[in-house]
Structure 1
Amino acid sequence: MWKIFGLDVKCYSPEHSGSVEEKMADSRQFVNPEQPGYVGFANLPNQVHRKSVKKGFEFTLMVVGESGLGKSTLVNSLFLTDLYPERHIPTASDKIKQTVKIDASTVEIEERGVKLRLTVVDTPGFGDPLNSEDCFKPIIQYIDDQFERYLNDESGLNRRHIVDNRVHCCFYFINPSGHGMKPLDIAFMRAVHHKVNIVPVIAKADTLTKQEVFSLKRKILDQIDEYGINIYTLPDCDSDEDEDYKEQCTQLKGAVPFAVIGANTVIEVKGRKVRGRMYPWGVVEVENPDHCDFIKLRTMLITHMQDLQEVTQEIHYENYRAEKLATGGPMKKPSRPRRPDSQDTDKERELRDKDAEIQRMQQMLAKMQQEMSVKKAAQNGDGKSHDVQV
């Protein structure tokens, strides 16, 4: 070890040649596996994929329709989970005075390492009372509250960890025995079609023949065009997409509105287990494309989930944000349903504590400003009186 210009310099003798060779071998371990002329930015999609998978995904699905149309059964069938373990079915006497409630259930689903935070917003009581004139107002209020909450979070201090509870898709269930859409269906769709992506669904398609399903679909599409209702339309395929994907998109577009059947019961048919319903005249398979559009509905939801979120962000939310900022009114705090403290999560308690701390700081700041204004006024008064005396 020598000292040169105050620096320690280590010299290796022949007996230390082994350590030098090891270091040279370590430096030779990194070899570029790619061909010459390859920079590497083509690997960026893989980086985005790894980061997205690590972060997880969020999606909010709202189901709206009359009671008894199989909304809960269909949702459980779509995601192969039980979102309503303690569901209470109201009696006929309860439905007379029942009002529309907003029931949001959140579940964490993981499949092949990909995590999805799914929130299903159910609307029990919709269309049940005799006077259904204002039954969809709580639903509109809930959608606006989620936009308002997201706008407040986006304008706040903690913008990195915003929980997206905006409604990205709405399955609207149409009664198969109504010979088309009822006035309530039309009024609801016209009230929310500029706030959320609407996907019309014909419930209990096993009560109709194939010809009746075809006629009902044509009737519903004619009513949608007649009343100017904007439903969610699948994006057009690019010219460089493969033919199988183009054919899939064409079939999905032709299946709207989706005629579906929901069932969570597994039955055995010809030696194989399927999910379906057993009838005296045969078996209806839920996942059979010849029996219903269940597979097409699930494919549409899964393959276009990102597009549903983008349309919600770029169109519905931006319209709400522009309208809110154009009016110039103060942003109100959205109503957040409180749960018992025993069921509160740590994040919710932390958010409430931060809100309370911000309110205390605002009160202290207002008090200090008031004291300073009083002191300044007193000083000005003393100066004036002194001038008069002189």
Structure 2
Amino acid sequence: MLRRRNIGFSIMVAGPKGIGKSSFINTLFNREIVQVQKKSNENLDLNLYILEIDCEGVRKKVTVVDTPGFGTTLDDSGTQENILSYIRTQFNMFLAEETKVKRNRDFEDTRVHALLYFIKASPHGLKKTELAFLKKVNGLVNIIPVIGKADGMAVDEMESIRSRILDQMKTCNIEIFDILKDELINQSLNWVNLISKFPFSVICDDKIDGEENTVRGRKYRWGNVETDNQEHCEFSLLKEILMSSHMDALIETTVNDLYERYRTKVLSEILPKADLNNKVI
């Protein structure tokens, strides 16, 4: 195995056009990373943003993989394949380095640790094309479904949408990252009760000023919706999962489960079955 020195954290964000992916990225890091109103990058399948942030007193490199080309056309099968190829390529690059006789001690691990898939707040749930995409990436990355632009949804409506999405994914055997599975999670939060709000809904602010004490959200004639208010949406819980309580669990699951299964599959197709369990790599 390669020596795990300072492993960074990599997040991929995907979903239909206009669902609030760019606003989410900016709100998550409280800075303008993606220009929300800019349209010139929509023809690109992937954009990478590399940040260095403070994670509970530790400086950590975070890579955000944005997918502006996803959902911009009726047939985005090509974009889906490019996203799938990117995830696999990161695994292949790590495997290639891992199997070298002389390894690069400064090799950078770029495997994707979480895929946030944004879903429209609709009673119909996921479309067939979306389920097809999630089936393709299933088993290659930790999938975290997110309900975007949940403004104005009633509690009972949101519960129905959540149930519909989970039923669809279960029927299609799509594995969702289990926020209750790993013992590394922050036990100070009552995740057992919060699982009823999964997939989490988010409402993000289009205008980011970088101030820590600013009340973020959206203003309407009938009132204000606050991004960080758990009575309005679960943005703060999702941020806690990604940037604190479950970051290590997402990395560990990628390294020990998803990658190992991928590695075994690839090597079993290359090496004779008799040698697979005995060969030291």
TM-score range, shorter chain: 0.7 to 0.9
State the match for 1:293 in structure 2. Answer: 234
Residue 71 of structure 1 and its aligned partner are, at CA, apart by: 0.5
Residue 262 of structure 1 and its aligned partner are, at CA, apart by: 0.9
What residue identity is the alignment partner of 1:312?
T
What residue identity is the alignment partner of 2:137?
V
Provide structure 2 residue ranges, at least 5 long, that are not aligned to the other structure. Answer: 272-281
Mapped pair 1:219 → 2:175: no
Mapped pair 1:139 → 2:80: no
What residue identity is the alignment partner of 2:76?
S
Task: Report Cα offsets for 1:278-301 as digits up to 9, x if no partner.
Answer: 111100000000000111111122
State the match for 2:10 in structure 1. Answer: 60
State the match for 2:254 in structure 1. Answer: 312
Residue 255 of structure 1 and its aligned partner are, at CA, apart by: 2.0
State the match for 2:276 in structure 1. Answer: none
Residue 266 of structure 1 and its aligned partner are, at CA, apart by: 7.0
Query: Do the aligned residues in 2 keep the contact of 1:266 with 1:276 (CA within 8 Å)?
Result: no
Pick from 127, 143, 152: which aligns with 2:96?
A: 152
SS of equivalent residue, structure 1 residue 147: helix
Q: 1:262 to 1:315 in 2, by over 3 A?
A: same
SS of equivalent residue, structure 1 residue 292: coil
What residue identity is the alignment partner of 2:231?
D
What residue identity is the alignment partner of 2:49?
S
Query: Do the aligned residues in 2 keep the contact of 1:66 with 1:125 (CA within 8 Å)?
Result: no
Mapped partners of 1:207, 1:179: distance in 2: 17
State the match for 2:267 in structure 1. Answer: 325
Pick from 52, 74, 89: which aligns with 1:108?
A: 52
Query: Larger helix proportion, structure 1 or 2?
Result: 1
Q: 1:138 to 1:76 in 2, by over 3 A?
A: same
Provide structure 1 residue ranges, at least 5 long, that are not aligned to the other structure. Answer: 1-51, 330-390
Identical aligned residues as a percent: 36
Q: 1:178 to 1:80 in 2, by over 3 A?
A: same
1:173-184 residue pairs with structure 2 within 5 A? 173-177=118-122, 179-184=124-129
Mapped pair 1:282 → 2:223: yes
Query: Do the aligned residues in 2 keep the contact of 1:237 with 1:246 (CA within 8 Å)?
Result: no
1:76-95 residue pairs with structure 2 within 5 A? 76-84=26-34, 88-90=38-40
Query: Do the aligned residues in 2 keep the contact of 1:252 with 1:300 (CA within 8 Å)?
Result: no
Mapped partners of 1:83, 1:154: distance in 2: 33
Larger radius of gyration: 1
Residue 150 of structure 1 and its aligned partner are, at CA, apart by: 0.9
Residue 103 of structure 1 and its aligned partner are, at CA, apart by: 1.0
Mapped partners of 1:61, 1:132: distance in 2: 21
Mapped partners of 1:196, 1:180: distance in 2: 21
Residue 127 of structure 1 and its aligned partner are, at CA, apart by: 1.8
Mapped partners of 1:205, 1:276: distance in 2: 12
What residue identity is the alignment partner of 2:164?
K
Residue 252 of structure 1 and its aligned partner are, at CA, apart by: 3.6
State the match for 1:35 in structure 2. Answer: none
State the match for 1:364 in structure 2. Answer: none
Residue 229 of structure 1 and its aligned partner are, at CA, apart by: 1.1
Which gives a bigger RCO, structure 1 or 2 (Cα 8 Å, sep 6+)? 2
**Alignment TM-score, normalising by the size of structure 1:** 0.62
State the match for 2:136 in structure 1. Answer: 191
Aligned length: 263
Query: Do the aligned residues in 1 keep the contact of 2:22 with 2:35 (CA within 8 Å)?
Result: no
Residue 225 of structure 1 and its aligned partner are, at CA, apart by: 1.6
Query: Do the aligned residues in 2 keep the contact of 1:255 with 1:296 (CA within 8 Å)?
Result: no
Q: 1:229 to 1:206 in 2, by over 3 A?
A: same
What residue identity is the alignment partner of 1:226?
T
Task: Report Cα offsets for 1:81-101 as digits up to 9, x if no partner.
Answer: 3322597315xxx97xx4x61
Q: 1:284 to 1:120 in 2, by over 3 A?
A: same
